[in-house]
Amino acid sequence: MTQLASKQTFVIGAGLAGSEAALVLANFGFEVVLIEQKPTQYSAVHRLPGAAELVCSNSFKSLEHGSAHGLLKAELMELQSPLMQIAMRCRIPGGKALTVDRELFSQCVTEALKNHPRITYREEECRSLPTHTPTLVASGPLSSDALMKDLLRILEDDGLYFYDATSPVITLESLEMEKFFWGARHDPFGSDYLNLPLTKEQYFEFRNDLLTAEKTEAHHPEESLKFFEGCLPIEVLAERGEDTLAFSCMRPIGLNPENLKPRPYAVIQFRREKAAGELLNMVGFQTRMKWPEQERVFRKLPGMGNAEFVRLGAMHRNTFINAPKHLNEKLELIRKPGYFFAGQLIGSEGYTEAVATGHYAALQMAGFRMLPELTAMRSLVRYLNHSDPLHFQPMNFNFGLLPDASSQISDGSTLKGRRLGKSERNALRASQALSQLKQWKEENWSNGGSATWMSKSSSGVLARKLSEQDDRISNTSING
């Protein structure tokens, strides 16, 4: 590992990107001042007082290395990502996805930050960029008005935006369980999700209710409602065609128990919020319906007449900066060196992507060499740097962002006489990315910024809550 002089850095925002960056920098010997506006001030959708709050969902998506999200997580784990390690220890049943208890996850990250000997955790609103550098700005898409005003003044820009939404959360005990079944898509033995099957008639009635329900309008009357394509409200999907919902978040494929007749036309899935499954999140059901309308529409569904909502969906405006116009390949501000950016504020859409850009920016602030070209993390940043500034939009990481690793991959030619399929090409790309990253790590540091904070947290929330979680799991049947 490169020997780094101890110096003070500022991190603005204790979301996923900021929390990851603060822990990485502190583990590499930096004195970090982390400024988080909660609990003195909350955004429109945040409700937990601590760090790393998961707002839209409690899933980091797939862990499979052959998937884009799985590769990104594998790279982070290879780099000993603090937040990925905590997420794995806060994991609850969710099939092949990394699904966590969001309250436990936030508590554990908060404790890791506050207990770290080289992190000063300040709970106050940051209204302008600090004059001290290096500084990482990771205040997220819901940054305070004062901070965004100061940032856009420095950028001499108006900023960009899109509208996002959250999904409702309900209690398990309020549902009529005879209308539901437990199962996991394409896994005959899986039971991580609660599923509500709908007939064709029920599906079309539900779609009509979505279309006719009263919706929340844009926050500013002069704005159009622009949405992120990777996370569209269910009403927008419903507007795109009669069967769009049935082929997206409500697809029945792989969810047809033998004793369920007739075959469902559509299925609504519910994912556990906690280990024992007492709270459930409606998967893919981010909505812009007004709150009374949500209760009316969802309670018309089979088995949900008495559904108890502990959280209703909400639409919010996300602001982000034009990253290819303002940031270099280090995620550093071109016109003001020493200021770095990460997370959803720069258009890296998704939980794992926020962690990845936070980790990447921290490595750059610490003075490390660039990550290898073929890695997912470097490819995601390359998209942020080299997109057309006139048409820049947020992006999840996907295999299309990776460069062609070889002619075998780019032209789909043969491997030992056999033509490579898409999954094989992706698997080869993932293998090459991880191989390059391991070599890079061996050449750049010896211990990867050993996560000493984990042992310091062992007597607190992390150990206590995980023990309680294990007890709940052992005392609860697999079907809730």
- Model confidence at 450, in pLDDT bands (50, 70, 90)? very low
Q: What is the mean pLDDT of the chain?
A: 85
Q: Which one has a higher pLDDT value, 95 or 225?
A: 95
pLDDT of residue 448 exceeding 80, the answer is: no
Instruction: Return the minimum-mean-pLDDT range out of 31-35, 170-174, 253-257, 299-303.
Output: 253-257
The 3-state DSSP class for residue 461 equals: helix
Region 111-122 average pLDDT? 97
Region 391-404 average pLDDT? 85
pLDDT of residue 81 exceeding 90, the answer is: yes
- Model confidence at 470, in pLDDT bands (50, 70, 90)? low
The 3-state DSSP class for residue 271 equals: strand
Neighbours of 171 (CB within 10 A): 15
Pairing state between β 97-100 and 91-92: antiparallel
Phi and psi, residue 10, nearest 5°: -110, 140
Q: Which one has a higher pLDDT value, 436 or 145?
A: 436
Instruction: Return the minimum-mean-pLDDT range out of 9-13, 130-134, 472-476.
Output: 472-476
Neighbours of 4 (CB within 10 A): 14
Neighbours of 261 (CB within 10 A): 8
Q: Which one has a higher pLDDT value, 322 or 133?
A: 322
pLDDT of residue 465 exceeding 60, the answer is: no
pLDDT of residue 11 exceeding 60, the answer is: yes
Rounded distance, CA 181 to CA 350, Å?
A: 29
What was the pLDDT predicted at 415? 55
Please report, rounded to a whole number, the percentage of residues in the chain having pLDDT higher than 70: 85
Instruction: Return the minimum-mean-pLDDT range out of 93-107, 112-126, 252-266, 463-477.
Output: 463-477
Show Cβ contacts of residue 74 under 8 Å, excluding neighbours closer than 6 positions.
Answer: 65, 430, 434
pLDDT of residue 270 exceeding 80, the answer is: yes
| Alpha carbon separation from 423 to 68, 365, 412, 426, 430 (Å, rounded) | 11, 35, 11, 5, 10
What was the pLDDT predicted at 414? 52
The answer to whether 437 and 78 are in contact (CB under 8 A) is yes
> For the segment 187-235, what is each residue's pLDDT rounded down to a tens digit?
777 788 999 999 999 999 999 999 999 998 876 666 677 777 777 899 9
pLDDT of residue 412 exceeding 80, the answer is: no
Whole-prediction pTM = 0.79
> For the segment 343-376, what is each residue's pLDDT rounded down to a tens digit?
999 989 899 999 999 999 999 999 999 999 999 9
- Model confidence at 437, in pLDDT bands (50, 70, 90)? very high
> For the segment 17-66, what is each residue's pLDDT rounded down to a tens digit?
999 999 999 999 999 999 999 988 877 677 888 999 998 889 999 998 88
Rounded distance, CA 135 to CA 341, Å?
A: 8
What was the pLDDT predicted at 400? 87
Q: What is the DSSP string of 38-81?
A: TTTS--SS---SSSS---S-SEEEE--TTSHHHHHHHHHHHTT-
> Using CB atoms within 10 A of its CB, is residue 69 exposed (0-12), middle (13-18) or buried (19+)?
buried
